[in-house]
Amino acid sequence: MSPSRISSRIRRIKPSASAAAAERFAELRRQGKDIVNLAIGEPDFDTPAHIREAGCAAIERGETRYTPVAGTLALRQAIAAKLQRENGLDYAPRDIIVTCGAKHALFNALAVTVEEGHEVIIPAPFWVSYPDMVLACDGTPVIVACREEDDFRLTPEALEAAITLSTRWLVFNSPTNPTGTTYTTAQLRALADVLLRHPQVMVLTDDIYEHIRFVDAAPRHLLAIEPALRERTLVVNGVSKTYAMTGWRIGYAAGPADIVAALDMLQSQSTSGVCSISQAAAVVALNTAPDFLPQWVATYRERRDTATRLLNAIPGIRARAPGGAFYLYPHCGGLIGKRTPEGKTLDTDNDVVLFFLEAAGVMVLAGTPYGVSPYFRMSTATSLAQIEEGCARIARAVALLG
């Protein structure tokens, strides 16, 4: 291997597929191309006005200085109250650290706990960043493929089979990006029973899509179902998706004292506390009833239903209606092996996605970086009109395949 100035831990990771798609879309737009973007990974709603105003008010009050590394007390109190109220979890402000988005909390959690030889179980399809975060922290991702027939749920049997004495973490994300998979209380209970048998396994719950769900009763949090897991669970969440605050960069982690202290130390020597203005806005977000949310969720649901119906009408594509989040993960196996009008054979979901972009002007993401193929991820975080136009274009392009 040629000598490199870049460390081996960085050389073993790759750029995020969704971030790369966002950049590609911006580039195509600059070139004047007419592209329907169904690759978006953030709400298309604006941050609600009362939260925006809280940010402006913080600036005017002069809240523009460093905050404590772990976040302001007001924000950690608001997070503690939220975890109690919405999840039935009992954490004090000292058990909580505020981070630069949930992504930062997940990365730092791995950084302070994972060493070479440690395995991290990641159910697939997974959010693209998890395996690379593990690799960047010198660990070994252990990918557990979940089946479409099981609605892409991690089963207790698959979890049990993946655990070894070297397992450090299970990363558990529900509703899941990219499949929207949700779990019932009974299904969470069954996973908890497996975890109870393996005390070396810690649990990183990524709850970022918790409020974007279309199933009626929200199940209790895994940890509320099995409080005995508390000393080995880190609860990660944030305001990005629920409150349409992706750019404000506020996430958080709540968990055992030693891990939160290590997170605090790492942040104290790297990023320090996160943006003071964003923290003030997040206090208001969490302390105010989210009256806008039922309407947003109803909108996501209508889009999900429309997208599912339109995709299932296209020969070669099979789409399930997910229980949450704002993505669909349709199967495109029926298009594999087909030939484009230019004579190219579609061998993989990467080829299918490229064909959609070039022949139809529709951007979706290939399933390959999400860990289960042949599928693609379609976002519904855009208008119904864009979803209808995108599906109509895909249908016309698919009709040209031989």
User: How many residues touch ligand PLP (CB under 6 A)?
Assistant: 13
**Window contacting ligand PLP (CB under 6 A); options: 21-29, 95-103, 283-291, 354-362:** 95-103
Parallel/antiparallel/unpaired status of strands 167-173 and 140-145? unpaired
Alpha-carbon distance 345 to 339, whole Å? 4
Among 238, 323, 324, 367, binds ligand PLP (CB under 6 A): 238
Give whichever of 208 and 335 is closer to ligand PLP, judged by the CB atom. Answer: 208
CB of 46 to ligand PLP, least distance (A): 16
What would the x/- binding string for ligand PLP be over residues 176 to 195, using CB under 6 A? -x------------------
Among 76, 82, 103, 213, binds ligand PLP (CB under 6 A): 103
Instruction: Map the footprint of ligand PLP across residues 38-57, applying CB under 6 A.
Output: 41
Burial annotation 343-375 (CB, 10 A radius, 16+ → b, else e): eeebeebbbbbebbbebbbbbbbbbbbbbbbbb
Give whichever of 238 and 390 is closer to ligand PLP, judged by the CB atom. Answer: 238
- For position 240 contacting ligand PLP by CB under 6 A, the verdict is yes
- For position 251 contacting ligand PLP by CB under 6 A, the verdict is yes
Quickly tell me which residue has 């899941």 as its tokens.
176
Joined tokens for residue 137? 């922290």
Asked if 388 contacts 306 with a C-beta cutoff of 8 angstroms, the reply is yes
H-type alpha helices, 237-328: 257-268, 276-287, 293-312
Instruction: Map the footprint of ligand PLP across residues 269-308, applying CB under 6 A.
Output: none
- For position 127 contacting ligand PLP by CB under 6 A, the verdict is yes
Quickly tell me which residue has 């870049």 as its tokens.
6
**Window contacting ligand PLP (CB under 6 A); options: 72-80, 99-107, 220-228, 381-389:** 99-107
- For position 123 contacting ligand PLP by CB under 6 A, the verdict is no
CB of 115 to ligand PLP, least distance (A): 23
SS3 143: strand
Residue nearest to ligand PLP (CB): 101
Torsion sign across C-alpha atoms 143, 145, 150, 151: positive
- For position 102 contacting ligand PLP by CB under 6 A, the verdict is yes
Alpha-carbon distance 203 to 55, whole Å? 33
Residue 213: CB atoms within 10 A of its CB come to 21
Alpha-carbon distance 318 to 314, whole Å? 8
Q: Which residues bind ligand PLP (CB under 6 A)?
A: 41, 101-103, 127, 173, 177, 206, 208, 238, 240, 246, 251
